[in-house]
Amino acid sequence: MSIRPFRDIKRRKTKEINVGKVKVGGNNPISVQSMTNTLTTDIKATIKQINEIYSEGADIVRVSCPDESSSKALKEIVKHVNIPVVADIHFHYKRAIEAAANGASCLRINPGNIGSINKIKEVIKAANDNNCSIRVGVNAGSLEKDILEKYKEPCPEALVESALRNIKILEDENFNNLKVSVKSSDVFLSIEAYRQLSKATDYPLHLGITEAGGFIPGSIKSSIGLGTLLLDGIGDTIRISLSDNPIEEVKIGNEILKSLNLRERGVKIISCPSCARQAFQVIDTVKVLEEKLAHIKTPITLSIIGCVVNGPGEAAMTDIGITGGGKGNNMLYLSGIQSEKVLTSNIISKVVEEVEKKALELEKKNDT
């Protein structure tokens, strides 16, 4: 139960490609990605982190392959994870060939940085032979020398020209199983580059504000940049780049999509910032509930409002709601209707009970 979106986002139609079992582009849901920060050669640590990222709700994960040992480690890593793995490759074409042969579902490369056309052909052959897609990853910090000389500095036109040049290299070899990104750490530069690129190609676009920073500034920059593009209908898969635990990237990515009604996953909590009117400690309650309800994957809306000013109105639009009341008697709402009074000391246990019950009910309904 939720209020109808004020605006439905009309997504730009793109080609559909496969990244392992995940379809990207076309009419498919926008996927969320992250990247490991372990040493890929530390196979046990990398597997552990990938599984944590997957459990948090990521659809695709990227792993850096800077050397032969890393690309060959993929063979063991992919056996123990349930998520497509993208191999991050820079410069050395043999790492791409090894990664494709060892189980990567996608290669992140800049064809222009790979070297001669013969080396590119070998990479494309490896991708084709192993049903591996390619992401053309253009970054403002590593543009080709001649493009930088032409434009004097990174700008939207420079990023787009680099992307189209690299796309053409692959197309000239009849390879079309690809997606594209044009990332910058500058929000405005990224937005304009993606807008221009979306008019120039219909390949799926991988969105990101690269090197966005720590948790708070990086989350804000990414939300503004990606949110603006997603509202325009641009973007088929996203990655939040934070100097933090990759799990936080997945959380923020999913929250951005949930906020725009582009994805439904887990409990969506609507809560007030709290004030002197609150009948219980809203902030502490929400923090505990976020942790205790993290295992719920079924889309459920929950309102936690400390007083009766906005509480009943919010509860009318959510699956489950708690509104603060006098003398420790708070009102529980189910599907927008008053259900029973709940003591402040019982709020958390009661809400968890009702959310889990609702999740089970919805899961059974979906199975029939």
Mean pLDDT of 83-95: 93
* Residues 281, 344 within the same domain: yes
Confidence band for 90, pLDDT divided at 50, 70 and 90: confident
279 and 199: one domain?
A: no
Reported confidence tier of residue 6, pLDDT bands at 50, 70, 90: low
Q: Which of 256, 267, 181 is nearest to 218 (CA)?
A: 256
Residue percentage of the chain with pLDDT more than 70: 98
The reported pLDDT for the residue numbered 273 is: 94
Structure confidence by residue, pLDDT tens digits, 259-317 = 999 988 899 999 999 999 999 999 999 999 999 999 999 999 999 999 999 999 999 99
Across the range 2-12, mean pLDDT stands at: 69
pTM: 0.90
Predicted pLDDT of residue 255: 94
**Choice between 363 and 77, residue whose per-residue pLDDT is larger:** 77
| Whether residues 331 and 246 fall in one domain | no
Q: What is the mean pLDDT of residues 84-95?
A: 93
Has residue 93 got a pLDDT over 70? yes
In angstroms, the CA 23 to CA 39 distance is 28
Which of 202, 235, 259 terminates a domain? The answer is 259
Which residues constitute the domain of residue 34? 17-259
- Find the CATH number of the domain harbouring 222: 3.20.20.20
CATH for 278: 3.30.413.10
**Mean pLDDT for all residues in the chain:** 94
Contact (CB, 8 A) for 228 and 191: yes
Domain boundary residue among 259, 289, 320? 259
How would you class 9 by CB atoms within 10 Å of its CB: exposed for 0-12, middle for 13-18, buried for 19 or more? middle
- pLDDT of the residue at 264: 85
- pLDDT, position 44: 98
Q: Are residues 193 and 275 in the same domain?
A: no
Asked which of 208, 229, 259 is the last residue of a domain, the reply is 259
209 with 330, same domain: the answer is no
Q: Is the pLDDT of residue 99 over 70?
A: yes
131 and 27: one domain? yes
Whether the pLDDT of residue 23 is over 90: the answer is yes
3-state secondary structure of 361: helix
Predicted pLDDT of residue 156 = 97
Give the mean pLDDT of 231-250. Answer: 97
* Among the listed residues 282, 256, 271, the one whose alpha carbon sits nearest the alpha carbon of residue 320: 271
Report the pLDDT value the prediction gives residue 194, as an integer from 0 to 100: 98
218 and 250 housed in the same domain = yes
Least confident of 84-88, 117-121, 155-159: 117-121
Buried b (16+ CB within 10 A) or exposed e, 170-209: beebebebbbbbbbbbbbebbbbbbbbbbeebebbbbbbb
Q: Is residue 141 part of a domain?
A: yes
DSSP state of 346: G
Query: Do the domain assignments include residue 76?
Result: yes
Lowest-confidence region among 85-99, 108-122, 159-173, 347-361: 108-122
Q: For 48-83, how does the pLDDT look when each residue is reduced to its tens digit (9 = 90+)? A: 999 999 999 999 999 999 999 999 999 999 999 999
Q: How confident is the model at residue 146 (pLDDT cuts 50, 70, 90)?
A: very high
Question: Residue 300 pairs with which residues in a beta bridge?
Answer: 267
Position 7 pLDDT exceeds 80: no
* Most confident by average pLDDT, 6-15, 264-273, 342-351, 357-366: 342-351
